[in-house]
Amino acid sequence: MVDAAPLTHARCDGSMIVEMRTYKIKPGLRESFLEIFVSKSVPEHRRLGMHIAGPYRSLEDPDVFFFMRGFPHLSSREPLKAAFYEGSLWKEELEPLLMPMIEKYEVVLVNDAEYPLGW
């Protein structure tokens, strides 16, 4: 079971496992997507214990944005993601709204130990 309490510290060394997520949204829908993402998805991620940095809008492509999602350690990543994606907010509300707006997305998984983000 995932502890729903917000994280106050990452690992004892301060580092975290970070997903660097880039999304290309269908033309003209980025602001609509981000309005829902910021108002509904980000608070739920934080409530479940994940850290979110961003979103950051691309200056070069009006349909692209980037955000980072942090986990205290690698073994917490899958349970925390499952808590979000198997939850009623995602399944009943966000998935049907957001997924049709996405053209593609990419995820790069990193450890921020060398250059900590200071969540």
Domain count, the chain: 1
Residue 74 belongs to a domain: yes
Comparing 94 with 11, the larger pLDDT belongs to: 94
3-state DSSP call for residue 92?
helix
Q: What CATH number corresponds to the domain at position 80?
A: 3.30.70.100
Say if residue 87's pLDDT is above 60: yes
Mean pLDDT in residue range 35-60 = 97
Q: Rounded distance, CA 78 to CA 76, Å? A: 6
Average pLDDT over residues 107-118: 81
How confident is the model over 33-45, as pLDDT tens digits? 999 999 999 999 9
Mean pLDDT value across the chain: 88
Whether pLDDT at 89 is above 90: yes
Owning domain of residue 24:
17-111
pLDDT digits 0-9 by tens, 10-32 = 344 567 899 999 999 999 999 99
pLDDT surpassing 70 at residue 9: no
Say what the pTM is. Answer: 0.83
On whether the CB atoms of residues 106 and 15 are closer than 8 A, the answer is no
Residue 117, domain member (yes or no): no
pLDDT value of residue 114: 72
pLDDT the model gives residue 79: 97
Q: Which residues pair with 18 in a beta bridge?
A: 70, 110
The first and second tokens of residue 61, run together, are 């492509």
Which residue in 28, 48, 30, 31 sits closest to 90, CA to CA? 48
Q: Are 26 and 105 in contact (CB under 8 A)?
A: no
Confirm whether 4 is domain-assigned: no
